[in-house]
Structure 1
């Protein structure tokens, strides 16, 4: 009987403090949620967050630096393409103990 392979990985994050800092911002959380549904352009994220485009681009950059978001290319039916962003994680777990704070993320390959 064949077993189904899974693409889920759990790995320690490079900078847990940066990820937690980024997630403390409501606009960044909204971007992460929106991009977990499907890739979104900066304009779509600006519309979704009701924030200025400058604010959205700052949050996108913060999420990219924290490895919570990735750039991708989205092709339209007319053959044009644009940069879009997609969430890179499904779960982020925080463990607090006497050794400090540890953050691990679960990534699901698509």
Structure 2
């Protein structure tokens, strides 16, 4: 499990959940750490504070779907968004055996298999 190191006053970045991004028209925002406990880190966004469990993959403490997804840096947020987008593209490409058989050579398919086996 990854260890997160937060400090009071640290600037953090938050990706907006589906419901938030729909109404706010943006994809991420910045917040500030106001408290750090053994289990939760509290982040102020605007005038409200939200708690995130830093022992459980930075999940927001809520009974409903998450409004925000917490990241320590903007780079970490952008990396994760890039990974999600690339995963969607790869999934759509590899979901059809037609693409594999007709668009890739045997050597390309063997290189892909080697990468997967790393």
TM over 0.5, yes or no? no
Provide the TM-score with structure 1 as the length reference: 0.26
Provide the TM-score with structure 2 as the length reference: 0.25
